[in-house]
A = this chain, B = another copy of it.
Amino acid sequence: MTRTDQRTPDQDLPYNVFAKACPSRGTLEHVTGRWGALTLGALYEGSLRFNELRRRVDGVSEKMLSQTLHALERDGLVHREAQPTNPPRVDYELTPLGREVAGRLLSLIRFVEGSMDDVLAARERYDETRATA
């Protein structure tokens, strides 16, 4: 509990993700989680319905998508708009806050996608140097 560590950049901010108990850690996980990140990314282009989203986020199950959307809606990043028609129609879209989060997330995602050649090359080097094979 010493305060001797001066390297922390956020020690004076109200919320510090590096602290175990900080609620920002939970929200960050909703945002960056496997399905959270892809869901936010998909919604960045515009609102989507449940099954559209499901098709777009390849591999997500109904349960996980539903769960992910609930968490993001609860955090105020996604807005759910249900129309009481038959058959039911529900649109999901980013809130203004969610849009800012998703923008930063997409910057990261696109950079990672664009770096995959380097990453894959690094992996090969890594595996080769320590796998005697």
Contact = CB atoms under 8 A, between A and B. Distances in A.
B109 A28 contact: yes
Contacts of A45: 1, 7, 9
A23 B120 contact: yes
Interface string A1-34: 1101101111001111111100110011101111
Contacts of A123: 74-76
A38 interface: yes
A101 interface: yes
* Identical copies in the complex: 2
B56 A15 contact: no
Interface string A65-79: 000000001111100
B104 A111 contact: yes
Interface string A51-91: 01001111100000000000001111100000000000000
B74 A27 contact: no
Given A7-B45, A28-B109, 13 more contacts: A14-B117, A15-B114, A18-B38, A18-B42, A23-B119, A24-B112, A24-B113, A29-B34, A31-B108, A32-B32, A97-B115, A97-B122, A100-B111
